[in-house]
Amino acid sequence: MDELAALVETAGGEVVGRLLQNRPTPDPRSFIGDGKVQELKHMIEVNGCDLAVFDNELSPSQMRVLQEDLGVKVLDRSGLILDIFAQRAQTSEGRLQVELAQYKYLLPRLLGMWTHLERQEGAIGTRGPGETQLESDRRHIRRKIQKLEEELEAVRKVRSTQRRQREKNAIPVVALVGYTNAGKSSLLNALTDAGIPANNRLFDTLDTTTRHLRLPDTQEVLLSDTVGFIRHLPTQLVEAFKATLEELKYADILLHVIDISNPDWMSQAEVVDNLIRELGAEHTPCIRVFNKCDRYLGILPRGERTVCVSARTGEGLPELMALVSEILNKGKHHAVLRIPYQRGDLIDLLQREAAVLNMEYAEDCTVVEAVVKPEIWGRVKDFAAPAGEDTP
């Protein structure tokens, strides 16, 4: 309920009351039952409220009944999150994704907008125009959904082309993932001076941001921030943001940012792990980055791929970058190669298949400093300079 209250405040609302209920199954008509509806209605009247937000997902008919009985606008958790996303999306791609999710959410709920026509009983012809308008709206929304899906498919193709270009240039991608407000944008700023606004509120950053990061071994990677996750993230949003989120599958490393200062961090991390599996990225190497460790007084988690950091103070960031380098270079050879000028084919091979860090021209050879994958090391290892020898 604290999280729901934070979502309401993020959307621009003010929380004046809460109502909890325990029951074995939801009431099929109103979700909470007639007694709780009357209790909620009284609370709304006493506080002068104009909105009731439910933490659960409501069916279209339940939402319609509740709005009629309570006399105020009713939102469920999915509708609230969609509203926040609509406020936050800045780029054209982000707005496309949110608009698609909103239309998919709206389509089954259209009937509730035409209840005023259903009440006009006894007058010949009054129901027909309502049904005609309803069908017209449904067709319009289906056409919009189809158009938006086509536009997002074009976005997916562009991303695929960009991804192939990155692979060709041998630039590794490190993706930041995590629960909303875990500190992903703050960490991106701390590592790359990205200058992204990082405020203490849910879903402050929606649009993907990518920056170059140079690691201690002088290797360059792309560090990409993704939309924050949350429990019960609307399926419409997951589907609409597939073009963005599927980037996780193709990342070389995931940095799972966890707010260690949040008492609920274990269940939040589980939500993110489940979504990573749902997106097919469970086999991507993942580092658990426990953020805000400067505000945590308990025993810090330890593990092979675990780092405790503070994006605010910079604590732990060198260890994080060293671990990223270690994983990226596992099995690879960081070497200085002296390639004779007559072996231009090997220079071409290195530029295509290795991460070339530096290249200079000596009297009798090209001196190349590169991180070489095991599959091509056998073709160039005879030209490796002795260990410790630097590029001239």
Q: How many Cβ atoms sit within 10 Å of the Cβ of residue 325?
A: 18
- Token pair, residue 129, equals 């125009």
Q: Identify the pLDDT of residue 131.
A: 52
Looking at residue 291, the DSSP 8-state letter turns out to be: E
In this predicted model, which residue has the larger pLDDT, 370 or 198?
A: 370
Mean pLDDT throughout 66-79? 90
- The average pLDDT across 268-290 equals 90
In the predicted model, what is the mean pLDDT of residues 374-389? 81
Mean pLDDT, residues 99-108 taken together? 84
Average pLDDT over every residue of 363-389 = 84
β-strand pairing of 209-214 with 220-225 = antiparallel
pLDDT category, 389, cuts 50, 70, 90? Answer: low
In the predicted structure, residue 274 carries a pLDDT above the cut 70: yes
For the whole model, what pTM was predicted? 0.74
Identify which has the larger pLDDT, 156 or 346. Answer: 346
Over residues 224-238, the mean pLDDT reads 79
Which pLDDT belongs to residue 117?
41
pLDDT, mean over the chain = 82
How buried is residue 110: exposed, middle or buried, by Cβ count under 10 Å (0-12/13-18/19+)?
middle
Helix then strand count (H, E) for the chain reads 15, 11
For residue 89, the model assigns a pLDDT of: 74
Show the tokens assigned to 98. 């949110």
Residue 304 CA to residue 331 CA, distance in Å, equals 17
3-state secondary structure of 70: helix
Q: Tell me, what's the pLDDT at 222? A: 86
The more confident residue out of 166 and 52 is: 52
More confident residue, 91 or 168: 91
**Per DSSP, what are the bridge partners of residue 307?**
289
Structure tokens at 303: 């593990």
- Encoded amino acid at 207, one letter: D
Q: Which two tokens stand for residue 180?
A: 């909303």
In terms of Cα–Cα distance, which of 297, 298, 383, 369 is closest to 339?
A: 383
Alpha helix segments (H runs only) across 19-59: 34-47
For residues 247-252, average pLDDT: 79
Contact 196, 91 (CB under 8 A): no
Residue 217 has pLDDT above 70, yes or no: no
Confidence at residue 111, expressed as pLDDT on a 0 to 100 scale? 59
| Element (DSSP H or E) covering residue 358 | strand 355-361
Q: Is the pLDDT of residue 122 over 90?
A: no
Angstrom distance (rounded) from CA 92 to CA 90: 7
pLDDT digits (tens, 9 = 90+) for 1-33: 888 998 898 888 899 999 998 889 999 999 999
Confidence of residue 126 (pLDDT cuts 50, 70, 90): very low
Q: What is the pLDDT of residues 297-324, one digit of tens each?
A: 777 778 889 999 999 899 999 999 999 9
Span 110-128, average pLDDT: 47
Residue 388 has pLDDT above 60, yes or no: no
Name residue 68's amino acid.
E
Percent of the chain scoring above 90 in pLDDT: 24
- Tens digits of residue pLDDT in 333-365: 888 999 999 998 999 988 887 778 889 999 889
pLDDT range class, residue 212, cuts 50, 70, 90: confident
Ramachandran region of residue 170, left (φ > 0), alpha (ψ -120 to 50) or beta? left
pLDDT category of residue 36 using cuts at 50, 70 and 90: very high
CA–CA dist 39, 245 (Å, integer)? 41
